[in-house]
Amino acid sequence: MAGLILMEKPGLTQLRNFRREFSKAWSLEVLGVSYPRMQMLTVREILIGKHFQTPTVAGRKAAQPGLFG
């Protein structure tokens, strides 16, 4: 899995290129839940509370806490 953090929102051409490349990475299935192998967030998104989709620790039922907990 990989997470790309961008300083600002990409332009339309960049976004299209990122999506095309990210789609080649497919997804990862863990405990019946599918997670994108490659994801991107802007710094602004992280600061408002968004976080990368990651699997929980094996054996735990609760989701992983956000970046700032």
What are the sequence ranges of the domains in the chain?
2-47
Q: Which residue has the tokens 């806490």?
A: 65
The model's pTM is 0.69
pLDDT of residue 39: 93
64 vs 27, residue with greater confidence? 27
Per-residue pLDDT tens digits for 14-37: 999 999 998 899 888 888 888 998
pLDDT of residue 32: 86
Computed over every residue of the chain, the mean pLDDT equals 85
Q: What percent of the chain has pLDDT over 90?
A: 48
DSSP-assigned letters across all residues of the chain: -EEEEESSPPPHHHHHHHHHHHHTT-EEEETTEEEESEEEEEHHHHHTT-----PPPTT--SPPP-TT-
Instruction: Compute the distance between CA of residue 63 and CA of residue 45 in angstroms, rounded to an integer.
Output: 19
